[in-house]
């Protein structure tokens, strides 16, 4: 039986047998789907990626205000397209380990304060200029400038100096940071000629594709860069992202063959879409989470009793069951969970509690409705989630007024501007990055306006602590402080639900984010 299935899996890899027929035959022979898919993955790997063709993705998460400046990227479309044309010093593998990229080697001093990166030779930018250590230094300096609006600023503000030393880049930190390689892998830190100082929106990088078309909110096209330095990325001749923020239109585009990949399949249609010919659902657990965010410095949310009331008024189990369709887990008003190595699993899980919600609501002194803004683009099922929240809050004596905002402009006009809205986070590789990007007082994306020097102190101390037990204890304190006094409600952690069509080869699950951690377009290929 094994020999027969091996033969059939090779036929699938060569395009002579459909995946659907193979899985049907495997099932008839008593082989489970997981084992059968493993055979297919091995066969595809042995056969090798196919070159050529155009690979297309239909994506939610793009708008008319999107920019090619990596420091400004806030949603999926800009940074998925950015993966096509740009590269960082290091990368993060699906298992969470660090992979050398534009830096072929790196090491640190024993106290983790001085880090040295050896810059890869023979790499050229799309304008023909050879990559140098000076370009890397300029990139970090631009993003780390005190007046920068880059989302990477909170990480780089801890740099004492960054200097070129021949073919190396030497970074000296103000305080130790054992996680610095993960900072160097942040997707905002795409290395650009002269750091992007001349024109950060030009879209010139070292990636496998050159920017050919850039129409924010509409479409983005990359054409293969002939002098790309590696041969295991960028298999298609051309990649294209079509911005399709409407969920129904996105699924239709996949089923009709207009696109090969889509992100954010709504959980409520997963079972139906599974039965569609040639469609494969990609269900990948990860660190992403959906959130309700309150501005802690804006009335009425500057009152912690009101914030606690709204936290206790969330029926988390119902949201996971009815919005995620079971494709996720409950959250505990912290942006971290058991997938993080230094997570403390002894923190009591917050439950839906109408009595406590009513108590804190009365204590807050607030009366009248509370306005919550949402949109279809906030996350899959966001409008349904808002309505469920409205129902559970009503049982606590809290009236939620739901305002449904248009998708186009939501990320520029509502998120991080309005005092109570809905959003999502893709998660980050380490707790330091999660907390630093959105909860430190100086974070550009501090979308809850949580300005707490005591919290900042805990995170910075944990960043430099090399003893793991002590570091874990510091993160526990920080998590509790955010959970009990912060402005974020984290009701659920979501699985990544993407879908691919019959032409897609080379898919590999990656818990770092949607569409293979945003790498699907450069790691996958067109099978036929």
Render pLDDT for 269-319 as a digit per residue (tens, 0 to 9).
999 999 999 999 999 998 999 999 999 999 999 999 999 999 999 999 999
Confidence band of 479 (pLDDT split at 50, 70, 90): very high
Is the pLDDT assigned to residue 341 strictly greater than 90? no
Domain total of the chain: 4
Domain check: are 25 and 91 in the same one?
no
Report pLDDT for 303: 98
Q: Give the span between the Cα atoms of 212 and 454, in whole angstroms.
A: 47
Residue 383 lies in a domain: yes
Q: Of 207, 163, 160, which Cα lies nearest the Cα of 187? A: 207
Clarify whether residues 364 and 482 are in a common domain.
Answer: yes
189 and 148 housed in the same domain: yes
Do 299 and 334 share a domain, yes or no? yes
Residue 76 lies in a domain: no
110: pLDDT confidence band, cut at 50, 70 and 90? very high
32 versus 242: the higher-pLDDT residue is 242
Strands (E), 177-266: 209-215, 219-224, 238-243, 261-262
3: pLDDT strictly greater than 70: no
What is residue 38's predicted lDDT score, i.e. its pLDDT?
59
* In a domain? residue 178: yes
What percent of the chain is predicted at pLDDT more than 70? 93
Structure tokens that stand for 14 in this block: 């060569």
Distance CA 514, CA 520 (A): 9
Tell me the average pLDDT across 366-381: 95
Q: What is the predicted pLDDT for the residue at 76?
A: 93
Asked if residue 437 and residue 326 are part of one domain, the reply reads: yes
Q: Average pLDDT for residues 350-370, to the nearest whole number? A: 97
Q: Tell whether 347 is covered by a domain.
A: yes
Structural domain range at position 434:
289-494
- Three-class HEC string of 197-220: CCCCCCCCCCCCEEEEEEECCCEE
| Higher-confidence position of 31 and 501 | 501
What CATH code is carried by the domain that includes residue 325? 3.10.105.10
What is the per-residue pLDDT across 437-466, written as a single tens digit (0 to 9) for each? 899 998 889 999 999 999 999 999 999 888
402-434 pLDDT, tens digit per residue, is 999 999 889 999 999 999 999 999 888 899 999
Question: Considering only CA atoms, which of 361, 350, 414, 421 is closest in space to residue 386?
Answer: 421
Token match 């102190």: residue?
457
Quickly state the pLDDT bin for 157 (edges 50, 70, 90): confident
Tens-digit pLDDT profile for residues 9-65: 766 665 556 666 777 777 777 777 656 665 666 565 556 799 999 999 999 999 999
């Amino acid at each position: 039986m094994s020999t027969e299935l091996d033969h059939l899996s090779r036929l699938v890899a060569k395009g002579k047998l459909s995946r659907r027929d193979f899985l049907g035959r495997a099932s008839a022979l008593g082989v489970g789907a997981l084992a059968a898919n493993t055979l297919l993955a091995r066969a595809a790997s042995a056969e090798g990626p196919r070159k050529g063709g155009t690979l297309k993705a239909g994506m939610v998460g793009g708008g008319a205000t999107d920019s090619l400046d990596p420091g400004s990227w806030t949603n999926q479309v800009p940074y998925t397209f950015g993966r096509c044309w740009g590269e960082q010093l290091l990368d993060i593998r699906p298992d969470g380990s660090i992979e050398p990229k534009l830096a072929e080697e790196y090491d640190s001093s024993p106290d983790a304060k001085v880090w040295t990166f050896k810059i890869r030779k023979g790499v050229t930018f799309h304008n023909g200029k050879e990559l140098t250590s000076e370009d890397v230094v300029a990139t970090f300096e631009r993003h780390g400038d005190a007046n920068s609006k880059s989302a990477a600023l909170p990480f780089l503000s801890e740099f004492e100096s960054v200097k070129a030393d021949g073919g190396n880049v030497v970074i000296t930190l103000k305080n130790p940071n054992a996680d610095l390689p993960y900072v160097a892998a942040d997707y905002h830190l795409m290395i650009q000629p002269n750091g992007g100082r001349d024109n950060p929106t030009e879209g010139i990088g070292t990636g496998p594709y050159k920017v050919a078309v850039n129409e924010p909110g509409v479409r983005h096209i990359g054409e293969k860069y002939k002098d790309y330095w590696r041969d295991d990325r960028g298999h298609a001749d051309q990649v294209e992202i079509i911005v399709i923020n409407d969920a129904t239109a996105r699924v239709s585009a996949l089923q009709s063959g207009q696109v090969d990949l889509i992100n954010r399949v709504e959980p409520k249609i997963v079972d139906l879409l599974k039965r569609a010919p040639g469609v494969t659902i990609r269900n990948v657990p990860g660190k992403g989470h959906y959130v309700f965010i309150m501005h802690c410095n804006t009335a009425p949310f500057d009152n912690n009793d009101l914030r606690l009331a709204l936290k206790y008024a969330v029926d988390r189990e119902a949201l996971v069951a009815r919005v995620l369709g079971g494709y996720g887990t409950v959250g505990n008003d912290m942006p971290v969970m058991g997938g993080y190595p230094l997570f403390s699993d002894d923190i009591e899980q917050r439950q839906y509690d109408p009595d406590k919600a009513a108590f804190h609501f009365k204590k807050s002194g607030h009366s009248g409705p509370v306005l919550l803004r949402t949109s279809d683009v906030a996350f899959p099922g966001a409008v349904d989630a808002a309505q469920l929240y409205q129902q559970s809050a009503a049982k606590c004596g809290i009236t939620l007024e739901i305002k449904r905002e248009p998708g186009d402009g939501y990320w520029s006009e509502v998120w991080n501007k309005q005092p109570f809205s809905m959003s999502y986070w893709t998660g980050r590789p380490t707790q330091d990055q999660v907390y630093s990007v959105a909860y430190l007082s100086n974070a550009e994306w501090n979308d809850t306006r949580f300005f707490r020097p005591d919290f900042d102190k805990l995170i910075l101390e944990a960043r430099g602590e090399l003893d793991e037990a002590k570091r874990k204890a510091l993160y526990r304190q920080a998590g509790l402080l955010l959970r009990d006094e912060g402005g974020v409600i984290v009701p659920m952690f979501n699985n990544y639900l993407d879908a691919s069509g019959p032409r897609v080869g080379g898919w590999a699950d990656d818990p770092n984010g949607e569409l293979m951690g945003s790498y699907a377009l450069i790691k996958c290929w067109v099978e036929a």
